[in-house]
Chains A and B, each alone.
Chain A
Amino acid sequence: MRLEKCWFCSSTVYPGHGIQFVRNDAKIFHFCRSKCHKNSKMKRNPRKVKWTKAYRRLHGKDMTQDSTFEFERKRNRPERYDRNLAENTLKAIKKIDKIRSDRASDHIKNRLKTGKVQRQKEAMKQLELGIHLVKAPLALAQDSSLCLPKIKVNVSQAQTEENQPMEE
């Protein structure tokens, strides 16, 4: 029994799942489910299909190089069964998996960090424009304590300090 990787999306194919396609030159393609199989029959290139691991790795969305990948190399030499070895391997698999997934999520977090400031600016802008949805303009005008607190965001151009209630 061997856990293969889907040729299209790179997810693991467990026994009993998916289809193996044998090409005329005896190259075997494993597919994890009919979605990948059908996409491949349509001759789609996995490197161009957004949800596949191949695309994500190619475009830097997911972690590509890490020492934890070395543990998952394909080995064709069968190991003699040793109880201790098997036990240690199972423990190691769990640990390595955790480390790898932590590193992968860190990679994604770092990648998304640069968008945070941009998103904050956009949120401020949206709040200013849509303040009438939050508080009625009349209430804002009457009770000045209900004004929006002035949050300073570092931008290059000068921002309007006061929030004028929207006038119809």
Chain B
Amino acid sequence: MIQPQTHLNVADNSRARELMCIRVIGASNRRYAHIGDVIVAVIKEAVPNTPLERSEVITAVIISTRKELKRDNGMIIRYDDNAAVVIDQEGNPKGTQIFGAIARELRQLNFTKIVSLAPEVL
């Protein structure tokens, strides 16, 4: 359940460290974003001397949430933190490595590049 002002960790090596959600993409008054949703975020903390810098507005897709993800087969998955991966307008990740286990839902939402880079898919 990510909403504007939520701070998220960055789960890839795209040189950003922490993002703050500004907007949930989807509908005009959409409240919350879950795993697999695209958000607009601002970079709150970045690795110094890199192309991405602080207070830059980027889009990201949410990889993991502390709020449980419920599947149709009854499986419920909860992560330890809220994390996102920085993407561009087409949905390709900006980084080259993904950290952490990725939920299978991302494959159905056509984030295949992210899923292929992930070390583990749940």
Contacting pair B78 A19 (CB below 8 A): yes
| Distance from A28 Cβ to chain B, minimum over Cβ atoms (Å) | 7
Cβ B75 vs Cβ A22 within 8 A? no
User: Is the Cβ of B101 less than 8 Å from the Cβ of A26?
Assistant: yes
* Contact segment of A10-18, A44-52, A57-65, A102-110: A10-18
CA distance A21 to B75 in the complex (A): 11
Query: When A21-B78, A22-B77 are in contact, do A28 and B68 touch as well, CB less than 8 Å?
Result: no
Chain B residues bordering chain A, tally (CB within 8 A)? 16
Known A22-B101, A26-B100, A28-B122; contact A15-B76, beta-carbon cutoff 8 A: no
Contacts of A15 in B (CB 8 A): 73-75
Chain A, range 3-62, C-beta contacts under 8 Å to B: 15-24, 26, 28
Instruction: Give Cα distance in the complex from A17 to B76, angstroms.
Output: 8
Query: How would you classify the secondary structure of chain B's contact residues: helix, strand, loop or mixed?
Result: loop
Instruction: Establish whether residues B80 and A20, one from each chain, have CB atoms under 8 Å apart when the complex forms.
Output: no
A18 lies within 8 A of B76 (CB): yes
Complex Cα distance A24/B68, Å?
15
Query: In the complex, how many residue pairs between chain A and chain B have their CB atoms under 8 Å apart?
Result: 40
Partner of B76, one of A20, A26, A28: A20
The answer for the CA separation of A11 and B100 in the assembled complex, in Å, is 27
State A20–B104 Cα separation when bound (angstroms).
14
Q: Among residues 71 to 105 in chain A, which have CB atoms less than 8 Å away from a CB atom of chain B?
A: none
How far does the alpha carbon of A15 sit from the alpha carbon of B79 in the complex, in Å? 19
* Closest-CB distance, A25 to chain B (whole angstroms): 8
Contact partners of A28 in chain B: CB under 8 A: 101, 122
CB contacts (< 8 Å) of A21 on chain B: these are 77-80
Q: A28 to B76, alpha carbons, bound, how many Å?
A: 12
What 1/0 flags go to B89-122 for Cβ under 8 Å of A? 0000000000011000000000000000001101
Q: List 6 other contacts, CB 8 Å, given A16-B73, A20-B122.
A: A15-B75, A19-B76, A19-B77, A21-B77, A26-B100, A26-B119
Please, could you name 27 A-B residue pairs with CB atoms under 8 Å apart, sorted by A? A15-B73, A15-B74, A16-B73, A16-B74, A16-B75, A17-B74, A18-B76, A19-B68, A19-B76, A19-B77, A20-B75, A20-B77, A20-B122, A21-B77, A21-B79, A21-B80, A22-B64, A22-B78, A22-B80, A22-B100, A22-B101, A22-B122, A24-B79, A26-B100, A26-B119, A28-B101, A28-B122
Tell me the A residues contacting B by CB distance below 8 Å.
15-24, 26, 28
In the A-B complex, the 6 residue pairs with the smallest Cβ-Cβ separation, listed nearest first, are: A16-B74, A26-B101, A19-B76, A24-B80, A22-B79, A20-B77
